[in-house]
Amino acid sequence: AGYICFTGSTPTGRLIARGCADRLIGCSLELGGKNPFLVLRDADLERAAEGAVRASFSNAGQLCVSMERMFVADQVYDRFVERFVSRTEAMSLGASLDWGVDMGSLISQAQLDTVVRHVEDAVAKGARVLTGGKARPDLAPYFFEPTILEGVTPQMTCFGEETFGPVVSLYRFHDEADAIARANAGEYGLNASIYSQDGARARAIARAIKCGTVNVNEAFGATFASIDSPMGGMRESGMGRRQGSEGIHRYTESQSVATQRLIRFAPMLGMSDATYAKVMTANLRLMKKLGRA
């Protein structure tokens, strides 16, 4: 292979990057994330709660762009949480492929074990489960309930480590500077979401968040569906971009082919260096006037 495009975990991405370096070939890596979801004080809370459900629990949280950290303004925290929990508890759960199921199963026993470990560790260290929190083998062997946690602290595994499952942690923030600092904390920088009715304000905050994509008033679909826009991560979330022109150019290598015309790079036979210098100077001045140099 002349180029590697990989989507997966950060540890595996590092191994691929080392292998590509040894072979002197390029690579683009879309890796892990601990994506932040910001609800500003002027957000449409119904819309934000609906987006939060999709952001956290689509594909049982097994999306690289899923949200695992939610930062909510003090002024609207309680009202948002009430709506978010209510919508989560109203979800239809099941392993069926039929229409009407809102969330399905995790992919493997190993992934279920990771989710259980993260939740049990958080609860043992003082986190509160607002809804969910349990495996559901009655629905499917690897099923875990959509889970909302509160009171998650840095001592807990799920605070900074990617869960990659239907688990999200809620936090209050006091002002926009606090929200931005919290969103940028940690090693990752893949995706973010901001809910606000002030578009200019949301975009200003988006520019301050160190991640590859930011969605305003949407969970992850706005950037993912913008096929002409590049998509990828910063920091531990990867390198390179997919989609758009950058997503095509990464598979190509540029080549320069030039044909020399008119002016030679050496004096003609019998021409002195001084005369050649005058000829070159005059030619370059003419080319500059013609816009060719």
| DSSP H or E stretch at residue 72 | strand 67-73
Mean pLDDT of the chain: 92
Question: Does the annotation mark 158 as catalytic?
Answer: no
More confident residue, 99 or 261: 99
pLDDT at position 223 is: 80
Judging by beta carbons within 10 Å of its beta carbon (0-12, 13-18, 19+), is residue 24 exposed, middle or buried? Answer: exposed
- Please provide the DSSP assignment of 11-35 as one string: HHHHHHHHHHHHHT-EEEEE----E
Answer whether residue 291 shows pLDDT above 80: no
pLDDT at position 287 is: 82
Assign 173 to helix, strand or coil: strand
pLDDT at position 120 is: 98
Answer whether residue 76 shows pLDDT above 70: yes
pLDDT at position 292 is: 60
Out of 122-136, 178-192, 229-243, the most confident range is 122-136
Tell me the whole-structure pTM to 2 decimals: 0.84
Question: How is the chain split into domains, by residue range?
Answer: 1-30+234-257, 33-225, 263-293
Return the bridge partners of 36, or none: 69
| Closest by Cα among 58, 55, 86 to 71 | 55
Residues 6+ apart with CB under 8 A from 73: 39, 40, 41, 43, 172, 173, 179
Catalytic residue among 5, 20, 27, 64: 64
Q: In the predicted model, what is the mean pLDDT of residues 48-77?
A: 96
Q: Which of 22-36, 103-117, 255-269 has the lowest mean pLDDT?
A: 255-269
Percentage above 90 pLDDT, the chain: 69
Tokens of 214: 């930011």
Answer whether residue 174 shows pLDDT above 70: yes
pLDDT at position 148 is: 98
Give residue-wise pLDDT tens across range 268-286: 888 898 998 998 898 888 8
CA angle (253 as vertex; 237, 14 as ends), nearest 5: 25
Question: Does the annotation mark 20 as catalytic?
Answer: no
* Topology, domain 33-225: Aldehyde Dehydrogenase; Chain A, domain 2 (3.40.309)
Q: In the predicted model, what is the mean pLDDT of residues 194-218?
A: 95
Percentage above 70 pLDDT, the chain: 99
Give residue-wise pLDDT tens across range 114-147: 999 999 999 999 999 999 999 999 999 999 999 9
pLDDT at position 293 is: 52
Catalytic residue among 27, 30, 158, 162: 30
